[in-house]
Structure formats: C-alpha cells, structure tokens
Structure 1
Amino acid sequence: MSELENWRRKAIAETYRNPVDASESSLRKGAQAGDSSDMHRLGVELAARGSLTEAEPWLKKAVAAGNDDAILSMAVLLGDLGRISESEAWYRRAISVGSSKAMAFLGLSLIKRGDAEAEHFLRDAAEAGHADAMTNVGVLLLRRGNTAAAEQWFRKAAEAGDADAMVKVGLLCRERGEGEEEESWYRRAAEADHSSGMLGLGVRVERRGDMREAEAWYRKAARAGNIIAMYNLGLLFDEPEPEREGNPEPWFRKAAEAGHPDAMLRLGALLLRRDEEIEGNEWLRRAADAGSRDAMYRVAVLAEGKGRMDEAESRYREAAEDGDSRAMFRLGVALKKRGEEEEVELWYERAAEAGNTSAMVSLALSAEQLGRRDYADSLLQRAAQAGDSVAMFNLGVSMERREQAEESQAWYRKSAEAGNSHAMRPLGVLLFQADQQVEAESWFKKSAQAGDVSAMAIIGGLLEERGEVEKAEFWYRKAVRGGHILAMLCLGTLLAKRNELEEAKEWLRKASDAGESDAMKNLAVVLEMQGEEEEAKSWRHRAAGARQRNDNE
C-alpha cells in the first residue's frame, strides 16, 4: 500500500470514529424525529460497522437538514462504495462550506487517478492548517526530488502533531547522519503510539548499542502490528548475547505469516538448521515466490544438492535476472555442465560485472586457455583486489609459469595468508628454492595440516635428510594414507634401509603398480635381498621400460 493510500485509509477511519456517545436506538429515535445531528451520527455509526448502504440515506437526510459536517462523511462513504466521481463532487461541496479535511481527501482522490489538480487541494488544506495534508504535500515534493521543501512541510506537520511526519523527519535526519535529532523525532512519534516511530526508535537505539531499549520498542511496535518490528525481534534473538535470551522462531513466524519475505527466509533457514526439512523448504519456497532473491538462490542450491537440476536452473535464473551475482555464476556453472558455452560466458560476464569474483576467476581461466593472458591477468587482478584468495593463487601460478619468481611468491603468500591451503605448498617450494628453508618448512607444515598429502611427503623428505628418521616415517605414513605415490616409495625405501623387508616390499609394490620407476628398481633390490631373483629381474626390466617411456615423454 502506498503512503498516500495508507494515509487516506487512516483519515477515513478517523472520520468514521466521530464520537458517538449514544446508543443506536436513541440515535434512530432522534434521527426519525428530525435531529440532523443524530442523523449524521447514526450514518457514521452505521458506516463504521460496515453497513454502508444503510448509512447513505441517513447521511443524505442530515445534509438536506442543513448539517454541513455530514457532507464530508457523505463524500467518504461514496468513495468507500466505489462511486468516485460522486465522492469527488461531495468533497467539492464540503470544501465550499470550509472543510480543510475535504481539501485533503479530494487531493488524495485526484492523485490516485493522476489529476494535476490534486496538489492544489492538498496545498490548500495544508495552508489551512491540516497536518495530514502538510505531510502529503511533503510526500509529493519528496517524490519529485525536492527534499528541502519536503522537509519543511514534514516539520510543520510534525510540530502540528502528525506522527507520520515525525517519522519522516527522523528518516531525513538519519540520511544526514544527525543521530540525536533522528532519535528525538522517532521518540516523539513512538510516544504518540505510532508503530513506525517505535520501530525507528528501536533501530536507532540498537545502532548505538542499547539492545535492551531496542527490544522494548520492537516489542511495542510488534504488539501494534508492525511486521518489520516482528522481524527485527527475530533478528535480535537469532544472534543472542549472554545477557539477552529469546526465541527467534515465533517472531520470524509472525512476520512470515504476515507476508515478510525475509522473515520467511529466516524461518526456513532456522527450521533447516533443526533438520525440519519439509517445513523449512516450504518457507524458503514461499520466500522465493514472494520475491526474496536470497531465497531464490538458496532454493536453487538445495535443489541442485538433491539433483533436481531443472528446478535449480530455473531458480538460479530467477535470482540472476533479479541481480544476484552468485546466482549468475551458479547458473553459468549449471549451463556449462550441459555444454551451453555461449550462454555460460554471458552469465559469467554479467556476474563478473556485478562483482562476483568466482566468475572473474572462471573467465580468466578460460581466457588463459585461449592464450589471452593479459585479459586473464586483468580479471585475476580485479578478483584478487576484491580479496579472492583463489584469484591470488592463480596469479601466483601465472607468474610462476612466466618465471617471475618474486611476483609469484608474493601472490602465493597473499593467498596463503588469506587461508587458501592450495597456495601454501607452492609458496613453500619457492621459499625453499630461495634458500629460505625455515619459513618454507613452516608453510609445508601448514599445508600438510590442511590435508595436502604432497606437503606431508615433502616434510618427510626434509626430516629424513636431517636424519630425523622416526619423524620422517610419521609424515610418510600420513601421506601414504592419502594415496601419495612418492611417499609410498620413500616409506618403502626407508623401511628397507632398516631391514624391515616385508613391509618395505608392500609399499614399494604399491608404488610400482602405480608406475613409479624408482619404486620398481628398489623393489627389485629388496626381492634380490630375499633371494627372489626371477621376480626381481622382472621388476628391473619393467623399471627400465618405465624410465625409457618417461624420457620419451
């Protein structure tokens, strides 16, 4: 609902709430006896409870009997009945007897159908002191970008007691960073029982760290039906502090059931964390259908995880077309899997333009394959500057291929320090080659601790060179559990030196079966030590063949 329409409804409700301090039966008696005031009050009472058709003749009789206040009530009633042209005629009649409220109402009615005369009536009502009209003149000016003039009217309306205007002045103060005055206006609106004022005050005090007061105002606004306040309470309790306890679910649920898309998303995510998949997925879908871009993306990810690629692609496309760069990239990935190369590049490019660094990296790798190195590097540079550790790593690879060791080391270091374990071992290798062995080994260990079996094998080799055989064996064994072929060779060789021939033979055989020629040669030696000359001869022959093939390659 627009601000102007919201105000119109509020004003009409106030018209229908004219004080009626007598029973309907006594009003009927007075009206039937010819009392124009009772006729008017009876018409208002009937309209307030929804009996619009019955109200109309009593209001007309009141007007005919000379009750000018009934003219405005008649105009409002006809508007509610959908008889707009009649309603506007009655507003004009009310204006002719001096009703500033009728000027405001007519202005709003004319705005709804785009009549240029609307602002004239709103301004007349505002200048006649009608606070709501002042606010709506401000709204019109704000829509046209005339913020300074809009604020003047908002301030006039606020000083005249209009709580809507107080909230609007608060919002303008917030935009300018005038926190104290912002809070003052929100507080005045909140104390006037305006739910948006309560919400704004809650947001303001939360921003300055007073969570207890924020919670109190959010609760008041939520009790008044403010959906955003319900959602904000959910957020407050979804990130609990030691001194603040609460359950976010009921607040997210209330806001979600009232139609708040982000609340639907949060509720769905909360339920999924509790493994309540059916209801959790349903809320995510409802959030997506309500326009939540993040929900569209999450539904797509879940669908992809379940192998429902048609649904995933459809949801990625929805979110991508709504501007979600993650969805653009994932849509590109999905399309690539089924060979739609032209559309893949289109979505990668759109995602990259929207700042998605994964898309920049993917485009860079494609460009590298096509020999467009400068373009690839420019994409990687953009992604790296945005903090993408994968881009930093790939810049390290690119520089290493060009034998630019210092630049390569610098990019590997940035990537590794950003937590990318793939960059740690290459950084260690470059440092080792630059005779920085202590730091190199520290990066090998970090890489190994992150699960890199090649780094484990390297550490084993370094330790064995230093004569720390037991420690070397520990790392070799970790590496072979991860399937590392050279570690099998090294472990088998180490065991053979200790005369542990059976286990040595086992590891050397595994490495030999994987095609490692040095393992074949060492296996032959172990077999000869055990007197198995024929098999040893066979492995020596295979080792020679493997070395020849390697030399030819």
Structure 2
Amino acid sequence: MYDLALVLSKGGDEVTQNSARAVELYEDAIKEHDDVDAMVDLGVLLEKGAEGVERNVSRAVELYERAIDRSGDVSAMYYLGLLLDDGAEEVERNVVWATGLFERAIREGHHGGAMCQLAFVMMNGREGVLRDEVRAAKLFERAILEHSDVHAITGLAVLLSHGAAGVEKNVVRAIELYERAIDEAQDAFAMVELARLLQDDRYWVRPNAARAAKLLERAVKEHDDVEAMVQLGEMLVQGTGGVRTNAARAAQLYERAIEKCHDRDAMLKLACLLRDGADGVSRDAARAAKLFQAGMNGRDGGEAMEILGRLVQDAAGRR
C-alpha cells in the first residue's frame, strides 16, 4: 500500500503520476497500519500540494508531529523544523522550536539536512538563537564528511570566502569547495559564487573573467538561474576583464530575469541600458523610467542612495 503510494506520488518507469490516488493510499496505510513513513511522505505531499491535491500545511504539521510521537522519526523532525524556521500559512514561525528539532534529528539520527539547516541558522542568527559561525562551520564540515551534502559544501564555502568571528578566511578552500559542488552536483549557486570570486581583484593578480563568464553561461543554460543572468548581463555591458561587450545579449538576459521573477536588480540594469542606449539597444526613456521606479520600489532610503550612486558610476564608466 505504502510502496504503491510512493510510486504514484512520484511517477516514472511507465507509471503515470497520480498524487490524488497516492494521498488515498497513504491515508489507508496510516489508518490501517499506523505507517510512519506514510505519515511523513503524506505530510511532504500536503505541504507542497500537487495536481489534484490541495495544499494543507496544518495537516502536514499534524502528520509530522504524529510521526515524531510514534517513533521519533528524524525526517519528520527535519521537515517540521523547516516549516517552523520559515513560517508558513497556518504555521507561526518558531525558530527556537525548529532549532530544537534540528538538534534532536542530528543527535538521534545523524540527519545531514538537519546539520546543514542548523548551520544556516547559526551562521546568521535568528529570533531567540544566537549567531555562532564556529558551530556553523563545524556542522557544515560534519555534513560534508558524513553525507557529502552539497548545501553544506556551498554553505562552508560562503563562510570561508568572507571569514567570520572565529572562522579564518580561506578563499583557496572556498574555491575548492565550490568546484566540488559543481563537479558533484552541477550546483548553480556554486557556479554563480565561484564566478564572483574569479572576478574579484582582491584575490587575484589577474582575475579570470573568461572562466567566470563560462560558469555564468552554464548556470543560465542548465538552471535558468536569475542571479547568473544578472551577473552575466553586467559583464557583457561592462566588458569585464576583456569579455567582449554585448549589450543586446545583456538586455535579453535582464528581460528574462524580469519575466521569470520580477528581479529588481535586472530592472535597474535594464533601465540604465534603455536610458542611455547601446549597440543593439535602442533608447527608450519611458520604459526606462517605469523599470527604474519598479526596481527601486520597496527599498529603504540608504539602499536606494547606494544603488543610485552605483548606477551613476556605471553609466559614467561606459561613456
């Protein structure tokens, strides 16, 4: 019953996905056998929703709590912790409770996802949880060692590339970690962050803009990554590190980022292109003004002034 539900919920191998039927089978497995795995998988399905299955986050929470009560299921602890850490419809955010669940999932089940998520909480600090980058680094290291967790690999790379209280900056190790995440998981975040590092002249006598551009192209092509679109667009406008300028392609990337998720940085950068015009990009002051207004909307005064200054500087550099 549970196995069939699992197959139907995912589909594949000539089995048509049928999430609604999967829900029925999970419910039967819970009712007849008190099946903990069915509780957890049904919780995940209801939390996200699917074709023919309406989202029901409060029911998902009930199922996770029941699985924890019945057998101390560490996956249920992890999923419930994620919900509480972020907060959701009908679920009040409770970072302290979430942290406790992650700690328990690590202690009782060596759960790699919980290690990684707890590390992110410690890395930034949240309501009721003190920031502790040293503990975060140790959790990332453990998740890498025990689970080869790609989020832990990139999380530790971020910590090492910037340095933190008690964590020594190590850009060389950070690059190695990003390279590993790309090699092992084709991770888009690692591609984008490695591209940033390769362009930073604080670390290199000769930054490798060509490799950075290739990484960003790959993140766009393989993952449709918005941050990669924006970064690559900027490189193509500025001609960073000898990369050949291509304002028309940059405009296309910005348009794509805006279309995909209304990215405000893409709006501002496209606004500058349309305001000034460029090879292959016609001036359009009216559209530029609308994009600029949309891109600045919701930003606080300090951030707005910083962005304005950067845009003016970029425009001056192109003239």
Match of 1:241 among 75, 85, 88: 88
The answer to whether residue 84 in structure 2 is matched with residue 227 in structure 1 is no
The answer to whether residue 17 in structure 2 is matched with residue 177 in structure 1 is yes
CA offsets 1:468-517 (integer angstroms, 9 cap, x no match): xxxxxxxxxxxxxxxx9xxxxxxxxxxxxxxxxxxxxxxxxxxxxxxxxx
Give the structure-2-normalised TM-score.
0.64
Gap change, CA 1:436 and 1:261, over 3 Å in 2: closer
Contact 1:412 1:423 in 2 (8 A): no
The answer to whether residue 281 in structure 2 is matched with residue 281 in structure 1 is no
Task: Tell which structure's C-alpha radius of gyration is larger.
Answer: 1
Gap change, CA 1:252 and 1:332, over 3 Å in 2: same
Larger RCO (CA under 8 A, 6+ residues apart):
2
Gap change, CA 1:305 and 1:414, over 3 Å in 2: same
Instruction: Compute the displacement of 1:193 (Å).
Output: 2.0
SS in 1 for 2:41: helix
Gap change, CA 1:389 and 1:311, over 3 Å in 2: closer
CA offsets 1:276-327 (integer angstroms, 9 cap, x no match): 2222222222222221111111101211112213432343343233124343
Which consecutive unaligned segments of at least 5 residues does structure 1 have? Answer: 1-165, 358-381, 459-483, 485-553
Contact 1:293 1:324 in 2 (8 A): no
What is the RMSD of the two structures over their aligned residues, measured on CA atoms?
4.3
Contact 1:413 1:424 in 2 (8 A): no
The answer to whether residue 134 in structure 2 is matched with residue 294 in structure 1 is no
Gap change, CA 1:333 and 1:211, over 3 Å in 2: closer
Aligned to 1:158: none
CA offsets 1:430-451 (integer angstroms, 9 cap, x no match): 39x9786555666788788532
Contact 1:416 1:423 in 2 (8 A): no
One-letter identity of the residue aligned with 2:78: Y
SS in 2 for 1:322: helix
CA offsets 1:350-377 (integer angstroms, 9 cap, x no match): x468x324xxxxxxxxxxxxxxxxxxxx
Gap change, CA 1:193 and 1:455, over 3 Å in 2: same
Instruction: Compute the displacement of 1:253 (Å).
Output: 1.5
Contact 2:192 2:219 in 1 (8 A): yes
Instruction: Compute the displacement of 1:413 (Å).
Output: 7.2
CA offsets 1:86-140 (integer angstroms, 9 cap, x no match): xxxxxxxxxxxxxxxxxxxxxxxxxxxxxxxxxxxxxxxxxxxxxxxxxxxxxxx
Separation in structure 2 between the aligned mates of residue 193 and residue 403 of structure 1, nearest angstrom: 62
Separation in structure 2 between the aligned mates of residue 281 and residue 262 of structure 1, nearest angstrom: 14
The answer to whether residue 80 in structure 2 is matched with residue 217 in structure 1 is no
Gap change, CA 1:194 and 1:295, over 3 Å in 2: same
Instruction: Compute the displacement of 1:239 (Å).
Output: 2.1
Instruction: Compute the displacement of 1:240 (Å).
Output: 1.5
CA offsets 1:382-440 (integer angstroms, 9 cap, x no match): 59976513444555678xxx9999x5896497389543334433321239x97865556
Aligned to 1:152: none
Instruction: Compute the displacement of 1:455 (Å).
Output: 4.1
Which consecutive unaligned segments of at least 5 residues does structure 2 have? Answer: 126-130, 164-168, 297-303
The answer to whether residue 88 in structure 2 is matched with residue 251 in structure 1 is no
Instruction: Compute the displacement of 1:219 (Å).
Output: 1.1
Aligned to 1:135: none
CA offsets 1:191-221 (integer angstroms, 9 cap, x no match): 2122112112222332232122211111121
One-letter identity of the residue aligned with 1:430: G
Match of 2:180 among 303, 306, 318: 318
Aligned to 1:189: 29
One-letter identity of the residue aligned with 2:184: D
Gap change, CA 1:273 and 1:315, over 3 Å in 2: same
Gap change, CA 1:352 and 1:323, over 3 Å in 2: farther
SS in 1 for 2:91: coil
Instruction: Compute the displacement of 1:248 (Å).
Output: 1.1
Contact 2:68 2:77 in 1 (8 A): yes
Contact 1:284 1:295 in 2 (8 A): yes
Separation in structure 1 between the aligned mates of residue 29 and residue 137 of structure 2, nearest angstrom: 39
SS in 1 for 2:17: coil
SS in 2 for 1:356: helix
Gap change, CA 1:287 and 1:243, over 3 Å in 2: same
Instruction: Compute the displacement of 1:333 (Å).
Output: 6.3
Separation in structure 2 between the aligned mates of residue 404 and residue 338 of structure 1, nearest angstrom: 25
Contact 1:425 1:455 in 2 (8 A): no
Gap change, CA 1:430 and 1:385, over 3 Å in 2: farther
Match of 1:266 among 95, 112, 117: 117
SS in 2 for 1:177: coil
The answer to whether residue 219 in structure 2 is matched with residue 356 in structure 1 is yes
CA offsets 1:227-281 (integer angstroms, 9 cap, x no match): 2111111112122236423421111122222111111110111122221222222
One-letter identity of the residue aligned with 1:294: H
Correspondence 1:394-543 to 2 at 5 A: 411=252, 414=255, 418=263, 419-420=265-266, 421-430=268-277, 450-452=307-309, 455=312
Give the structure-1-normalised TM-score.
0.40
How many residues are treated as equivalent by the alignment?
261
- % identical aligned pairs: 21
CA offsets 1:531-550 (integer angstroms, 9 cap, x no match): xxxxxxxxxxxxxxxxxxxx
